[in-house]
A = this chain, B = another copy of it.
Amino acid sequence: MAAAGTRPIVIVSNRGPVTFAVDDAAPDGVAARRGAGGLVSGLGPLVADTDAVWIAAAMSDGDRLVAERGVTRAEGYRVRLIDLDPDTFTDYYDRVCNEALWFVHHGLFDPVYEPAWPPGWVDGAWAAYRDVNRRFADAVIADAPEGAAVLVQDYHLCLLAPQVRAARPDLRLVHFSHTPFAPPAWLRMLPDEVRLDLLDGLRAHHACGFHSSRWERDYLDSCLDADRAPCATFVSPLAPDPDDLRATASSDAAATARSDLAAVVGDAAFVVRVDRIELSKNVRRGFQAFAALLEAEPDRRGTVVFGAFCYPSRLGVPAYDRYAKAVIAEVEAINARYGTDTWTPIHYDPTDDYPRSIAALQVADVVVVNPIRDGLNLVAKEAVLLSDRDAQLVLSPEAGAWEELGEAGVWEADPFDVGATARALADALDASADERARRASSLRAAVAARTPAHWLDEQLRAAEADPS
């Protein structure tokens, strides 16, 4: 058995660190560029320019060309892309991952009406999820170096392990959930067969990891409820990369964005949120709390601007379209009711502009992160590292990051309690300079305690935890 850190590494995730465009001018017919997304930006730098193999789905025509070539070097990575049938991919990704698993793990269903699995869902959509997982397992079995630690990422890929373990007993398998995990009452909303497939798939790993002990306990409770022995578990929250953040914060684009924001905010206090418009992020109740504050304390009007940098997400999915509309209606109603010729209460900006988001976090007085349920919420931690102004963090206990930050100086925002969130906002805005400094410093220490390297090390250590 290899010691931790000496095994070859294989990363397995739905989305890879590099994406390829067909380019007839390029010597190998494709042009590579680094991909985006939370998982890739967190994990990517840790394995770039190493021998680690990264297995992911082909997403573009260029990706599909590369998929035929086996393990391919590009942009510092060794990637192995898997060409999947587009209809199968749609069933797997849209119907199962986005519309079923994401919903149960985040508790987003309106249970009186949804889910209502139609006849054929298990034999159709769920069979596609099984197929895709089988294709990933085939790739791991074919391409993982002898004795590798295979780090399987997220809820897209829960069913690989039994097949891989049977064929490749030399490998060590770790699964990591970037989402929360559904407690029994929510996991039971899945068809029985699906629930048991997931739990059986997960427990075939040597260990399963979570961002928070809350999600670890929900996983263990769901195992108990289904009468399934769990595998070994570990808790290992991801951390932002401070160098990376500093690089963006000191870029010209961020500087320009800061002066644009200064013109918007003027002398007012600046409350900031940076989110996808995602059902779990609770953007709407955040605005309702802000409105409640303006309503209860008219003296606040004109003294504070809420900068909401919320870019659309999963458009075309009816629940997301409906929510985006409700969010925008809320913004318009609040701005119409409280705004004046010289003051717009909510500065709503739906552009997905990373340097602008970083700039907003730099100059925020208060940052709001109030999800109803959230695997970690890296923005909360980034905000702490980026702030030039001892930004106060208004944080929901339902974010995974609460476990590290809840006792370290945040202002608590119960996500379902508009009144309590309004009070947290007021308290954060009213804190004295001393209190702001004290809280911000405590938060910086809590966030700086971990780097992305800790997270990778802990996955590798977890690979050795279970001797079986």
**Footprint of B on A, CB under 8 Å?**
107-108, 110-113, 115-122, 183-186, 188-192, 218, 221, 279, 284-285, 288, 292, 296, 319, 323, 326, 372-373, 397-398, 414, 416-420, 422
Which residues of B sit under 8 angstroms from A117, Cβ to Cβ? Answer: 416-420
Q: How far is the CB of A301 from the nearest CB of chain B, in Å?
A: 16
Rounded to whole Å, the gap between the CB of A331 and the closest CB of chain B is 16
Residue in B closest to A108 when the chains form the complex, CB atoms: B112
Question: In the bound complex, what is the Cα–Cα distance between A422 and B372 (angstroms)?
Answer: 34
**CB < 8 Å neighbour of A418 from B116, B185, B218:** B116
Enumerate chain B residues within 8 angstroms of A122, measured Cβ to Cβ: 419
Is A112's CB under 8 angstroms from B372's CB?
yes
Cβ of A185 and Cβ of B183 under 8 Å apart? yes
- Known: A111-B372, A121-B419, A185-B186. Is A414-B116 also a contact (CB below 8 A)? no
Closest to A186 in B: B185
Candidates B108, B221, B288; contact of A111 at CB < 8 Å: B108
Contact A112 B416 (CB under 8 A): no
Given the contacts A108-B111, A110-B110, A192 and B116 also touching, CB distance less than 8 Å: no
Given A184-B183, A419-B122, A112-B279 contact (CB < 8 Å): yes
Determine the chain B residues whose CB is within 8 A of the CB of A184 once the complex forms.
183
CA distance A372 to B398 in the complex (A): 24
The answer to whether B192 touches A120, judged by C-beta atoms less than 8 angstroms apart, is: no
Instruction: Give the Cβ gap from A171 to chain B, nearest Cβ, in Å.
Output: 34
**How far is it, in angstroms, between the C-alpha of A107 and the C-alpha of B184 when the chains are bound?**
12
30 sampled A-B residue pairs with Cβ under 8 A: A107-B111, A110-B111, A110-B112, A111-B372, A112-B319, A112-B323, A112-B372, A113-B284, A116-B285, A116-B288, A116-B418, A117-B417, A117-B418, A117-B419, A117-B420, A118-B419, A119-B292, A119-B296, A119-B422, A120-B419, A183-B183, A183-B184, A185-B186, A185-B218, A185-B373, A188-B398, A188-B416, A189-B416, A192-B417, A192-B420
Contacts of A323 in B (CB 8 A): 112
